[in-house]
Structures are given as structure tokens and as C-alpha cells.
Amino acid sequence: MEGGGDVKLVGAWPSPFVMRPRIALNLKGVEYDFLEEQFPAKSELLLKSNPVYKKVPVLIHKDKPLCESLIIVEYIDEVWAASRPAILPTNPYDRAIHRFWAAYIDDKWFPSAAAIGKGEAKTEEAKAEAMAQMQSGLKLLEEAFEKCSQGKSFFGGETVGYLDIALGSFLGWIKVLELMSGTKILDEENTPLLFGWAERFCAHDAVKGVMPDVEKLAEFAKVLQTRVSVN
């Protein structure tokens, strides 16, 4: 294992964005100290390390902080390039395509899921619209998986890669949304490729130790919804 005391990750266990660098570090076999933030408080270290956005995750490598989950994942891939596997594709076109879909997940797909999970979609009509947008996005990602994986187990091919990390970090929350809504979001009938991929992803050695418990996540979601309703 590499890293040792030189690598620290400031994060919170429920955050899918914090999961991303944790999986990347695990893939590369890098040892790190996980510095847990206590929601909703923000530590002095977090505020000092990320004064612009004031949010997790923050990777601190040799006392230098780095923010934003996917930027951190790319940094990990480059710094520990000698440790296999490579997280981003080596082909420039493939690399650009993976970045495109990762941006789609964060900018277009995730807001619909967040609106449901945080209780921001307050009316039944708004909830239905958010759910439809989220499932429509998964259909697009099903097509992206077929093209990117080229018949292999993951978006990244034979092993977990950049796009796997970008989408897979939300799988725990998808299960929570299924519990809350009583609706199957990721199923074998509508998205068979993603359904199989999700099972493989969650069973991967780099993932299973950091994937949060669904029941614990569901309790946290209730806390979030309470805060939204109060505000």
C-alpha cells in the first residue's frame, strides 16, 4: 500500500461525492486517513482547505488540498499512474466520452434524484416529473454503457474506471429512493445492462468497503427532508 500519512481525505460517509475518491484510492492501493465531517457542522480544516465551496470531499496530499470529486479522481489516477489499473481510458477520444457522461450525471441526472431524496419536489406532480427525468437519464446511461463497455463488465472495460465511479457512487442513494418511492428505479426489465453492472460494481473489492448501508442512508435522508421542510 502506498500513501501513508501523506494522504488525507476530508469527507462524510453519506456523500456519494466522497465515495468517488475513496474508491479511486482503493483501486490504486493508496493508504489514506479518512477525516470524518460531522453533518451539518463544518470543521476548521474543511473551511481552510476548501474556502471557495466549503464542502467535501477534499483530498490533502503532502499538505496540499484539492477539491471537487472528479478532479480528485483524475489527480489520483495521474499521481499514482504506476499503480494499476488506470482509472481513465488511455485513448483520448474514449477519455473525452467518459468525461462527457460523468458531467451529464452531475449536471443533468443527479439534480432529479436530489430533488426527490431531499424532499425538494414537494407536490406529487413534481415528484413524478423528477422521477421520470431520472429514469429517462438512466435509459441514456444504459446506451452509454453498451457503447463504452464494448461487451465487458464495466464502463471502463474489465475493471472499475472513471465513469463507473461517477455513476456507481449514487447506487446506495438509488436504493434509498426506491424504498422511499416504492418504485423500482434500476431494474432488469428497463435497464438490464445497468442492473447487472450495478451488482458487479457493488461487489468489487474497491467498492464494497465504502458503500454505505441502505437503511442508515434512509435514516439520513429523513434528516435531510426534515431540514428542507423546516427551511
Domain chopping of the chain, boundaries: 4-79, 92-230
pLDDT value of position 231: 47
pLDDT value of position 116: 75
pLDDT value of position 181: 83
* Residue 45: its H or E element: helix 44-49
Q: d(Cα 147, Cα 120) in Å, to the nearest integer?
A: 34
Selection from 67, 75, 78 nearest residue 17 by Cα: 67
pLDDT digits (tens, 9 = 90+) for 1-25: 566 579 999 999 999 999 999 999 9
The whole model's pTM is what?
A: 0.94
pLDDT digits (tens, 9 = 90+) for 163-192: 999 999 999 999 999 998 888 999 999 999
Q: d(Cα 216, Cα 161) in Å, to the nearest integer?
A: 27
Report, as ranges of residue numbers, the positions in the chain whose pLDDT lies below 70: 1-4, 117-122, 228-231
CATH fold, domain 4-79, is Glutaredoxin (3.40.30)
Q: What is the DSSP string of 142-186?
A: HHHHHHHHTTSSBTTBSS--HHHHHHHTTHHHHHHHHHHHS--SS
Q: What is the DSSP string of 82-147?
A: TSSSPSS-SSHHHHHHHHHHHHHIIIIIHHHHHHHHTT---SHHHHHHHHHHHHHHHHHHHHHHHH
Amino acid present at 95: R
Q: d(Cα 44, Cα 10) in Å, to the nearest integer?
A: 11
Spatial neighbors of 179 by CB under 8 A, at least 6 apart, are: 214, 218
CATH code for the part of the protein at 92-230: 1.20.1050.10
Q: Over the Cα atoms of the chain, what is R_g?
A: 17
Give the rounded distance of the alpha carbon of 174 from its chain centre.
11
Residue with cell 488506470: 86
